[in-house]
Each structure stands twice: as C-alpha cells, then as structure tokens.
Structure 1
Amino acid sequence: MDASDPRRSIPRTDRLLALPDVIAAGEHLNQATIKALVNEVQTAARTGRIPVAEVVPTLVSRLGTRTASSLTPVLNATGILVHTNLGRAPLSPAATRAVTEAAGYVDVEMDLAAGKRSKRGTGAKAALLRACPAAEDALVVNNGAAGLLLAVTALRGAASGGEIVVSRGELIEIGAGFRLTDLMTTTGARLHEVGTTNRTHLADYAEAIGEDTSCLLKVHTSNFRVEGFTASVEVSELSGLATEHDLPLIVDLGSGLFTPDEALPDEPDIDAALRAGADLVIVSGDKLLGGPQAGIVLGRAEAVQTLAEHPLARALRTDKLTLAALEATITHTANPIHDALHIDPDRLRARTEALAEAAGAAVVAHDGRVGGGGAPGVPLPGWAVELPEDCAAGLRLGEPAVVARVHQGRCLVDLRCVPEADDESIAAAIARVLDRRHD
C-alpha cells in the first residue's frame, strides 16, 4: 500500500474500542458484537465503500442504531400474502402481545391452582378444538414438515409394516428443493406410489394395500395445479378404503383453512377433511391461518395420542412463544393475512392512486397471490404503482426497507399487504429513491 494511501490512516481497533461512545455501547452490547461492528466499518473503509474520515461517525451511528437482532423489518409491497422470504405470515397485534407476555416466566407446564406440573400447551390445544369441532384431539409441533414426519413415523411404529401408499400426482417439491418424498423416506418408510401424474383412482390405492402398508396418505398439491385430463380420489372415498383395511388416513393440507373461505373456493379446509373421515389432518400455522410457524395436527383422539406419545414428539415440540401466538391468533377474529385476503378493493385502489399521484407514477392492474404454497394460480385482483425497475434496489435498502415486485422490467409497488398507516412511509421511500435517480 502506498504511503500516501488514505487507507493507511484507518483507526486501529484498540483506538476505536477506546472511544467514549464505543465504551458506552458496552452497557447493552457484548464485546464480541462491538468488535464485529468495528471490523465491519474498518473493512468498509479499506474497500472504499466509505471514506476513511467516516469510520468513526459510521461506527458510532451503527452502535446507536444496532437492533436486538440482525433481522430487518420490511414493508411487503409485493402483493404476496404469505411470502416465505419475508417470514410468511405477520403476526396480528393480539399474537404480538401474547408473545411479549409469554417472554417471561409463564405457566406453560404448571397448574397454578394445584402447584404441580401440567401438560404443555393446553390453551393452544383448547383453542384449536373450539375452532375445529370435528377434531377429537390436537397436537402442535414446530412446523408442518415436522407434523408429517411425526405422523408417518409414529403410525409406522403402530402398524405391522412401513409402507405409505400415496398418489404419484401428490409427490410435491416445495421451496428450496425440499421434497416430501425425501422427508418420509428418512424415517425408514417406503413409498408405494400409485396412479399417474395426472390421474389416480380408488382402485389404484386398493391394489397397493398389502401386509406392509402402514397408512394411506393424501397431500394437497398446494403449490401447483394439474389441469385437463385429470382424476383424483376424494378424502371420503379414501376414508372408506382405509376403514375397510383398518389403516390410518393422513391428509396433509399444507396451508389449509379451518373452514371454507369464499375468497378461495377451491382451497381445502380442515373441517371438511375431518368430516370426510381423515384420521389426521396436518396444516401449517404460519400460512392461511395467519399465525406463527407451527405444525398443527388435528384428528381422532387415538391417532393424535399415538403421535403425542412417540419419543420424536419431544424433539419436535414447540416453545411457549409459539404456543402463545398460536392461541391468540385462533381466538381473535382478525389478522394481517385475513385482512389482506379480504381487502376492500375500492379502498385498495384509492390508496394506490394516492400513492401514484404523490410519486408522479402510473397505476397498473396487478394480481396479488396467496403464496407460501396456498391457492396456486388463484389471482387476487388489485393494483400497483409502476416505477422504473432500478427503483427496487433503492427501496429494499432504504429506511424503512420496502420490498416491491420486479416483473417484466418494472418495479411494482402493491399495497395489499401494507398496513394503511404505513402508506406515508412508502410514499416517502419512493420519493427518496426517485430523487436519487434524478441527481
């Protein structure tokens, strides 16, 4: 490095750590975190991302604004309700309060009246059973995949063999290359695939049942649709076959609803699946339910208890914060996912037009989506503000961070999932990005 190179004057680590503001930050940040921030700022100066003269003020600023975690809150302006990359369902105010209240000591496994240990998660379980009267029992685990893993493992142990009969057309792969087939075979079970990609009949299941069959499995193809010359077997038909052969029927609905929703007429619901004869129904808590990440298992008491008593249930159980948030989500009427799905179209358009007017931009028709493996191909008609494509990065990196949709060379800002109270923040963020483009 040349002697005149300004990078030679980057303050040393010990000098930065001795600054009064840095020492003061030690009252709420540990030394490992502080040293990591010091190294980040020094590296930014060495690589030319900030001037050397800005090292100290940048460090002091970052220490002052360091949040409790590295996660950055964002405004979801994509129009996708259950956005996996953005944490899926945002919690409702009631669920957020419940998490805060449960953050300290709580009676998660204690009967306060008796002063003795009690079963875990009784409040969430009771709320689930009130919301779904067709279920005899309920169990909560840490996510939907855990629910399926536990079900096929526990029921395999209760049966003579380990063969799962499932339609080829329902062997799905979800985000990040995760395949349900891989999950199930890790248990040591074997998959007996029946039917074809587009057509499966009851006779296909019947012919596959043998002495090694442990269960019948039906999976909702929640992230794709097969159209045209198709056939599948209803839960009620499979239930009759399962009963005839004394086999459990597992139905994995993924993002299933408790009851039918007129906004998503083709999306299956838990109540209907149970009334049609499913022994176990598995759904995720952080999708259309609008709650925290959780796997919810509902069904016949004997089948649910078989899962609850399996040793794997301990490894897959959820924590007090999730139980509190789930109970609050179920017992209260509204949550952000429900509100976005049933948003007033006239109000959405008026908000979009006001934002477009403030930005000097155009309003375009834009279909939102459920996302997260729910209601595949079902459009949620709405509108968006159209901006140049290069605005997307500036919006993501701004304060607040705004994640818009980039599509066909455009940046589309959809307010469907944005709380109306944040419209002014979105407008200010767009204005800053457009001003920088014109500089």
Structure 2
Amino acid sequence: MDNKSLLRKLPKIDELLKEDIVSEKMKSILRPLVIDALRETIDKFRNDILNQKLEDFEREDILNYFIYLVEEKNTPRLKKVINGTGVIIHTNLGRSILSREAVQNVLTASENFNNLEYNLENGERGSRYSHVEGIIKKITGAEAAMVVNNNAAAVMLVLSTLCKDKEAIVSRGQLVEIGGSFRVPDVMTFSGAKLVEVGTTNRTHLYDYENNISEDTGVFLKVHTSNFKIMGFTEEVSIEELVELGRKHHIPVVEDIGSGVLIDFSKYGFTYEPTVQESLKKGIDVVTFSGDKMLGGPQAGIIAGKKEYIDRIKKNQLTRALRIDKMTLAALEGTLKYYLDEQQAVLNIPTLYMILSSKEEHKKRAARLKNKLKKAVPHVDVNIDTDFSMVGGGSMPTEKIQTYVLKIKNNNYTAKQLEEKLRKNNTPIIARIYNEEIILDLRTVFDRDFDTITEAFKNIM
C-alpha cells in the first residue's frame, strides 16, 4: 500500500474515542492523558508512514500502541525499583527505606489536618520543631535540637548563624567533596563564612588551629570524612583537644558528623564510626547530621547541641527557607522512636537491619529465590555464591559486609542485554554485572519482591 493510502487509513481522534478500550481507559485515567496518548499514537504511525517504516497496519495495531503509551503516561515518574546491587544506602535509588512506623506516620499526616504548628495544650500557635526536638534530645543528650531539609542546609545554617562574615577554621584534610559535586568549601562560602584552611591533607596539629586564631575567628569546624579514608602517615586533632581550645578562646566548635550514626557499630563487628552522642558528650557545641543515611529515616538535616546556639540558629531568617514539611517530620519521628530501644531499632529500621542481619539468613533467602526461578524458567543458569554488600551513601567506605548472591546467566542473552531488560521491566530490577553474569544481592532484595523478579525473568525468556 502506498503512503497516501496509508495516511488516509489513519483514524481521527474522535473515531478512536468511541472505541471500547479507549472508553474503558477513560474511566481510570485522566482524560487529558488519554487524549495525549491518542495524538502521540497517531503522530507515531504518521511519521513511520512518511519515513517508509510501515507497509500496512490495522486499527488493532494503533489501539495496542495506545494502550502501551497511555499506561506509560499514567505511571508515576518516581517509581518503585528493586535494588539487587547490594548497596544498602544507595543515593541513586532513594537512600534509606523507611520503617513501617515512619510510613504510617506519613500517611496519617498526609491524609488529615494535623497540629504541625499548633500547640494543642495551650490552644495557640506552636513550633513545628517541637514534634521531634524532645526525642532528639533524649536520644543524643543534646540540650536542644532542630531539623532542616538536609545536612548541607544544616551546615550552611549553622555557619550562617555563628560565623557569617567571620572565619571558620577547618583542617585541609576535611574539605571533602561528596556526591553531585557537593563541596564543603562551597557550602561555607554560601553561608557567608570565610574559610581558613589549616594543616595538610594528611596531618593537622592542634597548633595549626591555635596559630590561626584571630579576632575574626567565628568557629572551629570539624568535618567527619565519612566518604573516604586517608591511610598511612596521618594525624588529626581529637575532639577533646579542639573543644578545650575552643573553650580557652571562647570559640564554638561545630562538627558535621555526616551520616548520623546513633548506635555503636563496633559492637557488631564493624569498624568504629563516631556517634552523635559521643561527640556531644565530649563537648562539641553543635553537631549536624543526615536523616536518610545511617540513621535510616527521611532526608533531613538534624542540628543538635547547646541551647544557646540552637536558639540563635532557630531565629535565623534562612530557617524558613530550609524548613522541613509535615511528612518529613512524621517520618523522622517514626524513625527516631525506635532508637529509644536499640534492639528495636536494629529489627525495625530497614537500613540497620540490612547492615546487621546475618549472611546465613540471606543464604536461606537466596535458596528460596533460586528455587522459584528454576521452577518458572528451568533453562536459566542460577547459582548461589558468596559476595560482599556495601553500606553506601558515603558511609563506611572501607567496610565490606559478607553476603550471599544469585549469579544468573542465559545463553540467549549477554549479561548486558539481560541487565537492560531487567532495568526496563515494569518494576525495574537494578542488578550488577560481573564476569558476564547478572548478580542479585539478597541483602538489599525484599522477600515481597521474589515473585516480581521471577515473573520478570519468565517474561524475558
């Protein structure tokens, strides 16, 4: 059939709107999305005809493409994925998974009016920070606390309050860059603080700080380099020494502890990571840390420390621009609640559970998923093997967690082809490739996703 005939054969939008399948989709999908999908479908077929990619088509072909397109348009852009990478706090995949308590709190806050800034006791305007300040103080031992939208904002707000147009003295070895080209010096510049670098990349001494004190010194800033380690010939100033120097010269000491560790991981066989509680106990005036890394909650920047400084920070006009919303507060409160009992935190906060659960448990889970896959797709080569998971999120960079993985391959597809098909599944499955095999790390895969994974391989094959 020639192009002119094919173009004449294309139906009009009004005609397609009368089709039963289109009417059915209109019941569950917004009309503008349906109309857009119909127009784009006709445009796609028209372009294919003009580019001589089509020799003929039937109306059913058009309707089938419409169904695919309208479903795609109706699917949220931010969607669930299955993390088979073994990276627990995966920045690209949304970092920490919320606990059930946190999720329920978010639903309650979202579906109802709430007392976000209303004091029920006094019947007057209240502070949104009061909902979590008490529990942060109880867990960390801080005199006061507040929360903003992320840790970069927390650092900027603290420095803007305590060090605007003044000097912040920081060790050269702590001027780190983390994901997305985020650099500590840049945050300091935006805050209005003047950066004073002291020491060298690998060695900084107490006298480096003391020799650079001037009448313009606003704070001593200590940054925990959680996303990298300098090994070998190194030296850094301890918290105790820096605090003593700060008190001697009446200079507040601020620590960006980054990942927000609230339990001592060394008790569980991991390399020691400094905790928020310990920093405050040693005399740090203000500590900032993330909510969605090792803490295992929503994205947030938590500021805790001496009341005199926190009260000043709360009054900073930037606070309004950086404040968190009701859903974040609800999720954070639901997460922090578990830290009142460390055992409950480890069991109920998914991030902690994934880090600390035994490899033998994941070996049993790997066996269950393997059996499901072998029954559904017998000709796929599936093997269980040992491997290592990573904490991720810029936390514990040298720590490897023993785990069990499934190694999968099939003669019909290369590992790269199989990875792409899994990634483009209706529920995307994100896997690793090693030695021409697909690797699925059970430590970051939930039992509830076993059927989805099995169905995906079944459809692919």
- Asked if these proteins are the same fold (TM beyond 0.5), I'd say yes
Q: Which residue of 1 aligns with 2:274?
A: 268
Q: Aligned-pair distance for 1:374?
A: 0.6
Is this contact kept in 1: 2:33–2:74, CA < 8 A?
Answer: no
Q: Which residue of 1 aligns with 2:459?
A: 432
Is this contact kept in 1: 2:296–2:350, CA < 8 A?
Answer: yes
Q: Aligned-pair distance for 1:303?
A: 1.1
Q: Aligned-pair distance for 1:304?
A: 1.1
CA displacement, residues 69-128 of structure 1 (integer Å, 9 cap, x when unaligned): 321211111111111111111111111111110013111111234332111132222221
2:82 is paired with a residue whose SS is strand
Distance (Å, rounded) in 2 between the aligned partners of 1:249 and 1:44? 62
* 1:218 partnered with 2:222: yes
Q: 2:331 aligns with which of 325, 336, 349?
A: 325
Structure 1 segment 234-245 matched on structure 2, within 5 A: 234-245=238-249
Q: Which residue of 1 aligns with 2:104?
A: 97
Q: 1:361 aligns with which of 382, 385, 393?
A: 382
* 1:399 partnered with 2:399: no
Is this contact kept in 2: 1:363–1:385, CA < 8 A?
Answer: yes
Q: Aligned-pair distance for 1:267?
A: 1.6
Q: Aligned-pair distance for 1:261?
A: 1.9
Q: 2:306 aligns with which of 281, 300, 307?
A: 300
Distance (Å, rounded) in 1 between the aligned partners of 2:234 and 2:10? 67
Q: Which residue of 2 aligns with 1:349?
A: 363
Q: Which residue of 2 aligns with 1:411?
A: 438
Q: Aligned-pair distance for 1:164?
A: 1.1
1:292/1:38 CA distance change after superposition, 3 Å: farther
User: What letter is aligned with 2:118?
Assistant: M
2:316 is paired with a residue whose SS is coil
Is this contact kept in 2: 1:259–1:272, CA < 8 A?
Answer: no
Gaps of 5+ in 2: 339-344, 375-380, 410-414
1:377/1:18 CA distance change after superposition, 3 Å: farther
CA displacement, residues 379-415 of structure 1 (integer Å, 9 cap, x when unaligned): 0111211124222111111133211123454321011
Q: 2:396 aligns with which of 356, 369, 375?
A: 375
* 1:126 partnered with 2:130: no
Max Rg structure = 2
Q: Aligned-pair distance for 1:190?
A: 1.7
Distance (Å, rounded) in 1 between the aligned partners of 2:349 and 2:252? 34
Distance (Å, rounded) in 2 between the aligned partners of 1:416 and 1:83? 13
Give TM-score scaled by structure 2 length. 0.86
Distance (Å, rounded) in 2 between the aligned partners of 1:216 and 1:196? 16
1:176/1:16 CA distance change after superposition, 3 Å: farther
Percent identical among aligned pairs is 35
Distance (Å, rounded) in 2 between the aligned partners of 1:129 and 1:363? 45
1:401/1:228 CA distance change after superposition, 3 Å: same
Distance (Å, rounded) in 2 between the aligned partners of 1:33 and 1:235? 58
Q: Aligned-pair distance for 1:186?
A: 2.0
Q: Aligned-pair distance for 1:276?
A: 1.2
Distance (Å, rounded) in 2 between the aligned partners of 1:206 and 1:14? 79
Is this contact kept in 1: 2:157–2:191, CA < 8 A?
Answer: no
1:370 is paired with a residue whose SS is strand
Distance (Å, rounded) in 2 between the aligned partners of 1:88 and 1:395? 21
User: What letter is aligned with 1:275?
Assistant: K
CA displacement, residues 225-279 of structure 1 (integer Å, 9 cap, x when unaligned): 1111111112121111111111111111111211312344322210011111111
Distance (Å, rounded) in 2 between the aligned partners of 1:9 and 1:267? 69
Distance (Å, rounded) in 1 between the aligned partners of 2:74 and 2:101? 23
Is this contact kept in 1: 2:359–2:404, CA < 8 A?
Answer: no
Distance (Å, rounded) in 1 between the aligned partners of 2:19 and 2:256? 57
Q: Which residue of 2 aligns with 1:177?
A: 181
Question: How many residues get paired?
Answer: 430
Q: Aligned-pair distance for 1:296?
A: 0.6
Distance (Å, rounded) in 1 between the aligned partners of 2:307 and 2:430? 44
1:43/1:126 CA distance change after superposition, 3 Å: farther
1:208 is paired with a residue whose SS is coil
Is this contact kept in 2: 1:140–1:294, CA < 8 A?
Answer: yes
Distance (Å, rounded) in 1 between the aligned partners of 2:275 and 2:39? 52
1:6/1:339 CA distance change after superposition, 3 Å: farther
Is this contact kept in 2: 1:82–1:372, CA < 8 A?
Answer: yes
Gaps of 5+ in 1: none
1:10/1:243 CA distance change after superposition, 3 Å: farther
Q: Which residue of 2 aligns with 1:246?
A: 250
Q: 1:57 aligns with which of 60, 64, 69?
A: 64
CA displacement, residues 264-301 of structure 1 (integer Å, 9 cap, x when unaligned): 43222100111111111111111111111111111111
Is this contact kept in 2: 1:22–1:63, CA < 8 A?
Answer: no
User: What letter is aligned with 1:222?
Assistant: S
Farther-moved stretch of structure 1 (40-49 vs 364-373)? 40-49
1:242/1:21 CA distance change after superposition, 3 Å: farther
1:67/1:243 CA distance change after superposition, 3 Å: farther
User: What letter is aligned with 1:343?
Assistant: S
CA displacement, residues 319-377 of structure 1 (integer Å, 9 cap, x when unaligned): 00000000001113311111101112211012223333534312232211111111112
Q: Which residue of 2 aligns with 1:155?
A: 162
1:369 is paired with a residue whose SS is strand
Distance (Å, rounded) in 2 between the aligned partners of 1:386 and 1:419? 17
Farther-moved stretch of structure 1 (12-21 vs 161-170)? 12-21
Farther-moved stretch of structure 1 (46-55 vs 255-264)? 46-55
Farther-moved stretch of structure 1 (350-359 vs 290-299)? 350-359
Distance (Å, rounded) in 2 between the aligned partners of 1:368 and 1:43? 47
Q: Which residue of 2 aligns with 1:421?
A: 448
Would you tell me which structure has more helix in proportion to its own residues? Answer: 2
Farther-moved stretch of structure 1 (254-263 vs 49-58)? 49-58
Distance (Å, rounded) in 1 between the aligned partners of 2:15 and 2:201? 66
Q: Which residue of 1 aligns with 2:79?
A: 72
CA displacement, residues 131-174 of structure 1 (integer Å, 9 cap, x when unaligned): 22x211111100011001101111124xxx42111111111111
User: What letter is aligned with 1:242?
Assistant: G
User: What letter is aligned with 1:304?
Assistant: I
